Structure 1
Amino acid sequence: MNRREATATRRGLLRKSAGLGAVGVAALAGCSGSDGDEPAFEERFEDGLGDWETGAAIGPEVDIDDFDWEVDVSETEAVAGERSLRIWNQGDYDDGVTWAVHPVPIESGESYQIEVSGQFWSESESFNTIRHALMRLAPELPETEEDFPQPGLNTTDLGETPYGGLRDALWLADGWREYAFEWTTPELSTDTLYLAVGTAVIWEADATHYVDDLSVTVEPR
């Protein structure tokens, strides 16, 4: 999926998420103690994009239509199965973020301790910071780069925050590397959260990354 297709599908994601409330209640019923170890959401992209929707943003000095990016499912790299999420974006503007987002159902009226993990692939290890890995779990869909954490931030040790996530350097390893964060939520008045994963342009070079083996564990607190 590219930038032109993403705009038309965002409304569809909002419509789909409206029907997930009952599913979320059933999925998390009795989710306490050791039951919280069972993921509320997992994704290995073996069946394609499914309900994942895509998006991108760039600073105001560049028209978003001039920022090229692609998000799709690829068989080129995978952690354990045969497919993973492929994210490509151009580096000409030394700016821009690209992401995919998926609804995660929860039970409204609760506060949670949530753990999120995923694997990101880089072509090689590099002393240059070429891209940042982005992860975000929140009650709202992301729309701009500012909706994601600031560079170097991970909500694991911050206590209660409005949303959870991280932004950390890629190209720290040759191949796959795990990224993870925890989120201590306030009491939530929604029955749907949105998990977004993506990359942020740092270096003026085009780059492809892969994302796989995503897991969200939700435990009431």
Structure 2
Amino acid sequence: MSLLKMAAMGVPVILLAQGSEGQSNPVSIATAYSESFETGMGGWMPDHHLACEPACWPLSWHIVRSPTRAYHGAYSLDCYLNGDHDDGTIWVERPFQTSALAPGSYKVSLLFYLWSDSYSHVNRWPVVAFLGSADPEREDQFAIIGQTNMVAGWKQYSYSRVVSLKPTQALWVAFGFGATWEVPRTYAMDMVRITVEPARARRAQPTRHHER
């Protein structure tokens, strides 16, 4: 998706505070983005992947706004996935413009909340997330950052990684969950937060010599 199309969709730019005296390199203070789905999807788009499609029967799923429960405000995302394939992943995704950022490596941090109807120590499903410069299309592009049903109710999940960004590229953010058990399940997701800051360079470790 081009930056012009994203601008037409009202996709926000994640801004970093600039250094003094017109310095071109951003300082490490990021403007935080947040969304709790109170007035709409906020530009987040539902998507899914099932490895056997289209040869197998279609995956039954949905991600829609709902007032049934919420971590923040009155709405959250109602997320239904039928695991009868014993496979499949669903998520919401969103591109962000990065034209305000100088080219370089940035630490991108994602935080969101997922609701499970009960606690279970078995048959949990993987909670997944993606941070990168390309639109995620397959479940193997996602990192597993936790499991569902670790608590009854809302639980916070987070994911961070260093991403190489250019002004001409979008930053893609996505989060959701996958099926590993042949049952239908409904979860909820709410209150997503994203921050971006320049990645800190790793300090070189001093060379240690063996004493004689």
The TM-score normalised by the length of structure 1 is: 0.76
1:47 matched to 2:39? The reply is yes
The equivalent residue for 1:130 is 124
Report how far residue 16 of structure 1 moved: 3.0
Task: Summarize deviations over 1:3-52 as a string: whole Å, max 9, x none.
Answer: xxxxxxxx7x98632668x9637x2242523x23x41x211111111311
The equivalent residue for 1:109 is 103
1:28 matched to 2:23? The reply is no
1:184 matched to 2:193? The reply is no
The TM-score normalised by the length of structure 2 is: 0.79
The equivalent residue for 2:91 is 99
Question: Counterpart of 1:124 in 2: which secondary structure?
Answer: coil
1:212 matched to 2:190? The reply is yes
- 8 Å CA contact 1:88–1:206 kept in 2: the answer is yes
CA RMSD of aligned residues (A): 2.6
The equivalent residue for 1:75 is 67
The equivalent residue for 2:140 is 146
- 8 Å CA contact 1:118–1:179 kept in 2: the answer is yes
Question: Counterpart of 2:114 in 1: which secondary structure?
Answer: strand
- Following superposition, which runs of at least 4 residues in structure 1 exceed 6 angstroms of deviation? none
For structure 1, which runs of at least 5 residues remain unmatched after alignment? 1-10, 150-165
The equivalent residue for 1:175 is 153
Change (3 A) 1:108 1:24: farther
- 8 Å CA contact 1:87–1:199 kept in 2: the answer is no
For structure 2, which runs of at least 5 residues remain unmatched after alignment? 19-25, 200-212
Q: Which has the larger radius of gyration?
A: 2
Tell me, in whole angstroms, the C-alpha distance in 2 between the residues paired with 1:143 and 1:108: 27
Report how far residue 58 of structure 1 moved: 0.8
Supply the AA of the counterpart residue of 1:32.
Answer: V
Supply the AA of the counterpart residue of 1:60.
Answer: C
Tell me, in whole angstroms, the C-alpha distance in 2 between the residues paired with 1:123 and 1:181: 23
